[in-house]
Amino acid sequence: MKSNEVNAKHSWQPTLRSLADGERYFYDPYTFKKEKIVWEITERTLQGLPMTFSKCDMHDFGHSVSGTGEALFLKSAAIKAFAEAWERLWVMRIGSTDVLPEYKIKSSNGFAAARTLTEAKLKSRDELIERAALLKAWSTPTAWQQINPVGFIAKALVHCLNRTDWTTSFYEVRIANGGSLFCGLLRSTKFGAIFDCLYKSESTINIAAIFSKLTRSLARSINTQINRTVEDTWVLPTVGKPEDHGAFYTKVENLSAFDFLDKSPRRTSAPIALDDFNRIRSIKVIDTSGFPAVAFSHNDAWPPFQWGKQTITKENPWPHPLA
**Is residue 31 very low, low, confident or very high in pLDDT (cuts 50, 70, 90)?**
confident
Query: Are residues 77 and 71 in contact, defined by beta-carbon separation less than 8 angstroms?
Result: yes
Q: What is the pLDDT of residue 48?
A: 73
Q: Report pLDDT digits (tens) over 61-81.
A: 999 999 999 888 888 999 999
Asked if 73 and 52 touch (Cβ cutoff 8 Å), the reply is yes
Residue 204: the pLDDT is 67
Query: pLDDT digits over 140-195, tens only?
Result: 999 999 999 999 999 999 999 988 889 999 999 999 998 999 999 999 999 999 99
In the chain the domains, ranked by start, together with CATH numbers, are: 2-129+279-298 (no CATH), 132-275 (3.30.160)
Residue 95's pLDDT band (boundaries 50, 70, 90)?
confident
Average pLDDT over residues 189-213: 89
Radius of gyration of the CA atoms of the chain, in A: 20
pLDDT above 90 coverage of the chain, percent: 68
pLDDT of residue 4: 41
Confidence of residue 3 (pLDDT cuts 50, 70, 90): very low
Where do the DSSP E strands lie in the chain?
23-28, 33-44, 52-60, 63-71, 111-114, 145-147, 166-174, 180-188, 192-200, 281-286, 293-298
